[in-house]
Structure 1
């Protein structure tokens, strides 16, 4: 898995009446827009916020990274560790771990 693209999923949940605020917060996060420290984050290909069409208060923050190493470097680096995400209040911890990291096993 070390040299392949990965996907990271963060599970989010908006309390009643806060869906618009969650979406606005996502759009304001600098790493989402590739503006971390004035430059794009190394290895981040893209990110997107997905809303569950059957359960509108539930979301996934999906990001694609060039490699697991790129993601881990950012995840454990000072730009992330020292700056808690504005989305932290929305993390859905009801399922245990609020995120998952996936390697691509097959792609057409």
Structure 2
């Protein structure tokens, strides 16, 4: 059984929430139709002001990894400046779905 994968990337609005949102929309439009990508969402924290998490859903870990090493990955470069500096080292996680209802 192939498990779906969710990739979580933490971002900070750096005092420019409208710019983060517009950049997210621009990148997401370019990502539309990417093989293996099922969709994505930008969630704003209600407990940590200025904190966001971008969650993308992939049909499998293999699909995500294939995209991650391709030139298609470069489409996300404009969002990188918003990566949360309060999470040094690794501002992301890759999670396989073990169970769902």
TM > 0.5: yes
Match of 1:92 in 2: 84
- The runs of 4+ residues in structure 1 deviating greater than 3 Å are none
More helix by share: 2
Alignment-derived partner of residue 35 in structure 2: 42
For normalisation by structure 2, the TM-score amounts to 0.88
Alignment TM-score, normalising by the size of structure 1: 0.83
Q: How far apart in 2 are the matches of 1:88 and 1:71? A: 18
Contact 2:12 2:85 in 1 (8 A): no
Alpha-carbon displacement from aligned partner over 1:17-40 (angstroms, at most 9, x marks no partner) = x011101110111xx23x45xx71
Q: More displaced, 92-101 or 55-64?
A: 92-101
Matches within 5 A, 1:23-62: 23-29=21-27, 32-33=28-29, 35-36=30-31, 40-62=33-55
Q: How many residues align?
A: 100
In the alignment, structure 1 residue 74 sits paired with structure 2 residue 67 = yes
User: Which residue number in structure 2 is paired with residue 4 of structure 1?
Assistant: 3
Q: Give the alignment's Cα RMSD to 1 decimal.
A: 1.8
Of residues 11, 17, 20 in structure 1, which corresponds to 2:18? 20
